[in-house]
Amino acid sequence: MSDKQSKTQGFQLKFRHVVVFLLISAVVLFICFRLSLKRRLNAEYARIRAQGYPVNARELDDFYSIPSDAKNGAEVVEDALIKKVTWSGDKADKLPVSGSVSFDTRTDILKGESLKLVAEYMEENREFLEMLYELRDYNYARYDTDLSRGFAATLEHLSPLKKAAETAMEESIYRTSIGETHNAIRSTETMFALGRTLSKEPTLISYLVKLAIDRMGAASLERTVNMCELDRKQLDRLNALVKSAKNSNVFSRAIAGERAFGMSAFRSQQDMVSVTGMPGPLYLLYAASGLKDKDELLYIDLVSMFLDASKKPFVQRNTAFRKAVRDTKNGVSVWNFGAYIIMPALSKVSDLSLEYLAQLDATKVGLAIEKYRLDKDRLPEKLADLTPTYLDEVPVDPFDGKPMKYLKKGDTNYVVYSIGKDGTDNGGTEPKGGALRSMYDVTFTVERP
């Protein structure tokens, strides 16, 4: 063998050794990468469980629980719904909330044929509404739904629940139209009680339905203040509703629930294929490569940021939510396919949550103004006049960190407002359509007829 052949064979042998070494190194690095991801995931699971939150859909179903000795308000709702009379056709279209007629729920009064129509509807639903009013004595509810099914779980009670709230609001409109203040307040209490039945249900869609119902309750309360002369005891009853609605961790539970749904989906080939539309063979490659675990870690991190933000003091939440939104936009792309598809629309829901809480605070201030007016026979010049007798302190607007705004409009009318998510003081302007639909404030308005 020539020296040249010997050198060539030696080079080839060394090359093969290098290739084998590189392959072994790549395998070792990949194994270390996968083990590192698994360790990090296990650590995240342990951290979440230590906080008392679920990490999968089965645990989420257990998380959705009420005390064993508590009365279940969901049973009251389900029994009442059996008695509900639902109209259809032209008669249904003429109802002021569930129908299609234009009706200002703050100041419009039912008259003539409209009044007769709604009176008939109320009479047909009298038993239904009386049964719902029993909810005021129930602090807990657990609807019959199986959250262990993950994203396949059905929440069939939500639509009937919202329709029940619409009927209660129609009753409130009817009662204020005929001057029955006591019964109008009862209707408002029913709406907030219906919303309260969703307080323990840990899903975003349930939270959004609760917001919709509570906003109907707040609108009914605002209407009652506009249309009726309320005494101190009645104002205290309404204030108790607002206080109870605000002092809850419903949004945090909803975020925790969505996180558990997502974590379950990452662990299930069937769920991931169903949710993402990813073909089975591609999913196997996605899982084997470690990209699935990497996406799950990103998903957990981002959703947890929103959860942490939702638990911060009220005045700090907007800043925390904004940071979570920025990090989500910067952190999730189509390259993080699983996280990109599964990530819930928490940025929009966080805005709605802040607006809802701001509306409750504006309502609380409005009720304090009414107490002041009752005692002094005039409106306060500024909100500071309400402290400490009628308010412990003037609530802070979560959108700018400043005190809530207040504008007098004559001797008896006024608006209390937050500047809302656009961050601009629009002078107490309410939502409009068209190009100006995003330029509005979150208001509590009194325009006495």
Residue 233 counted as domain residue: yes
Predicted pLDDT at 163: 98
Task: Mark whether 92 and 143 lie in a shared domain.
Answer: yes
Domain that residue 35 falls in: 17-51
pLDDT in tens, 415-433: 999 999 988 999 999 886 5
Residue 230 counted as domain residue: yes
Q: Which of 53-62, 261-270, 352-361, 374-383 has the lowest mean pLDDT?
A: 261-270
Task: Mark whether 24 and 151 lie in a shared domain.
Answer: no
Indicate whether 152 pLDDT > 80: yes
Task: Mark whether 117 and 239 lie in a shared domain.
Answer: yes
Sheet holding 413-418, edge to edge: 405-409, 413-418, 442-446
Predicted pLDDT at 102: 78
pLDDT in tens, 238-267: 999 999 998 778 999 999 999 999 999 988
Reading the block at residue 41, the tokens are 């995931």
Predicted pLDDT at 37: 81
CA-nearest of 96, 76, 73 to 84 is 76
Residue 287 counted as domain residue: no
> Quick one: pLDDT band at residue 434, thresholds 50, 70, 90?
very low
Cis peptide bond upstream of 67, omega within 30: no
CA distance 422 to 416: 17
Reading the block at residue 77, the tokens are 């709702």
Q: Quick one: CA dihedral 127, 128, 129, 130, positive or negative?
A: positive
pLDDT in tens, 314-347: 888 989 999 988 888 887 776 777 777 888 889 8
Task: Mark whether 169 and 211 lie in a shared domain.
Answer: yes
Task: Mark whether 44 and 82 lie in a shared domain.
Answer: no
CA distance 270 to 362: 46
Task: Mark whether 143 and 250 lie in a shared domain.
Answer: yes
Number of domains in the chain: 2
CA distance 182 to 160: 26
| Residue that wins the pLDDT comparison between 11 and 115 | 115
Predicted pLDDT at 111: 92
Task: Mark whether 212 and 113 lie in a shared domain.
Answer: yes
Task: Mark whether 221 and 170 lie in a shared domain.
Answer: yes
Predicted pLDDT at 439: 80
CA distance 330 to 123: 56
Segment 34-61 shows an average pLDDT of 93
Tell me the pTM. 0.90
Indicate whether 276 pLDDT > 80: no
Average pLDDT, the chain: 90
Task: Mark whether 104 and 47 lie in a shared domain.
Answer: no
> Quick one: pLDDT band at residue 270, thresholds 50, 70, 90?
confident
Task: Mark whether 78 and 189 lie in a shared domain.
Answer: yes
- Domain stops at, among 255, 276, 298: 255
Indicate whether 436 pLDDT > 60: no
Task: Mark whether 122 and 86 lie in a shared domain.
Answer: yes
Task: Mark whether 29 and 176 lie in a shared domain.
Answer: no
> What beta strand segments (E) does 133-210 contain?
none
Segment 133-160 shows an average pLDDT of 95
Indicate whether 117 pLDDT > 80: yes
Could you give the 3-state DSSP secondary structure of residue 72?
strand
